[in-house]
Amino acid sequence: MNKLMTQTPPGEENTFNIFVNPTLNLSVAVSATIVLVLAGLIAGYIPSRRAARLKTVDALRHNK
């Protein structure tokens, strides 16, 4: 894949140099992981808290 990305037609500037030697900054990876975990926790907590407040009979009655 890298070989395909580095080949360009003659006369054109090679604009795909970013794909030749990709690097990853550790702080960016850790920050992204923390943000995604927090988003997942919030996305799961809000509906579960709402569902926990329902009575079982009412929840089953509306689940048709």
**What pLDDT tens digit does each residue of the chain (64 aa) get?**
666 666 666 555 655 666 677 788 999 999 999 999 999 999 999 999 988 898 888 878 876 6
- The answer, as to whether pTM is greater than 0.75, is no
Alpha-helical (H) ranges within the chain are: 2-6, 26-52, 56-61
Other CB atoms closer than 10 Å to residue 5's CB: what's the count? 14
Amino acid residing at 60: L
Say if residues 22 and 1 touch (Cβ distance below 8 Å).
no
What are phi and psi for residue 40, nearest 5 degrees? -65, -40
